[in-house]
Amino acid sequence: MKISKICLLFAIVLFTNTTTVLCQDNGQERPPKEKWSLISMQGTVTDINKATREVTLMDEEGGLVTITASDTVERFDEISVGDVVSFEYWTYIKAEFRQPTPEEVKEPIILVAEGGKAPEGMDPGAVVGAVVRAVVTIEVLNRPNMLATVRGPRGNYVTIPMEDRALIEQLHLGQVVILTYAEALAISLQKITPKP
């Protein structure tokens, strides 16, 4: 099974190097937080893999996002590097604030589901790529800007925007979080014709 590039700012497939699980919270269990988002963006194509239908785009702030164009995206073959495109994709992320199980410690990143329709328990209308679960550790908490940076089981980092101010105030460095996230799959990808 191949886990293709995870897109969006979650880009959580970055996790590479096994890490030991650090300390968990002082035994307090918090309810899981999960969120589906339909993201609409515009960006410039920097790379295309026609075989896998993966497109890397640079957004207006210079951030890179890799998305996979679903089979419903028409005229995919007409898109080239340098084109400006508008696109929409679904993302899903769920954070569980609990001690990882011995199985999760032993195998800190696993493929939960292949791409396609959302798996059971998720919005049945959403189309997603691979769904992955990983044991991550909180490394940085930027409370004024509502950002949490986590380190994955392979050593790389990702910054996640937070919405719940009360929750970010309760989190601490070194805390273990179980993240389940879906690879974003583009449901639309349209070339924007430049104005003369």
Alpha carbon distance 191, 130 (integer Å): 26
The CATH number that applies at residue 147 is 2.40.50.320
In a domain, 178, yes or no: yes
In a domain, 171, yes or no: yes
Write 101-105 long-range contacts (CB < 8 A, 24+).
104/133, 104/135, 104/178, 105/21, 105/135
Quick check: 109 and 154 in contact, CB under 8 A?
yes
In a domain, 1, yes or no: no
In a domain, 101, yes or no: yes
Closest among 132, 181, 170 to 9, alpha carbons compared:
181
Bridge partners (DSSP) listed for residue 188 = 88
**What residue numbers bound the domain in which 59 lies?**
12-191
Per-residue pLDDT of the chain (196 residues; tens, 9 = 90+): 333 333 333 333 333 222 223 333 344 556 778 877 777 889 999 999 999 888 888 877 777 777 888 787 888 889 999 999 998 877 778 889 888 999 999 999 988 776 555 556 555 455 566 788 899 999 999 999 898 888 888 776 777 888 889 989 999 999 999 988 776 677 788 888 765 5
Quick check: 134 and 179 in contact, CB under 8 A?
yes
In a domain, 4, yes or no: no
In a domain, 6, yes or no: no
User: Coil, strand or helix: which one is 104?
Assistant: helix
Q: How many domains does the chain have?
A: 1
pTM of the model: 0.59
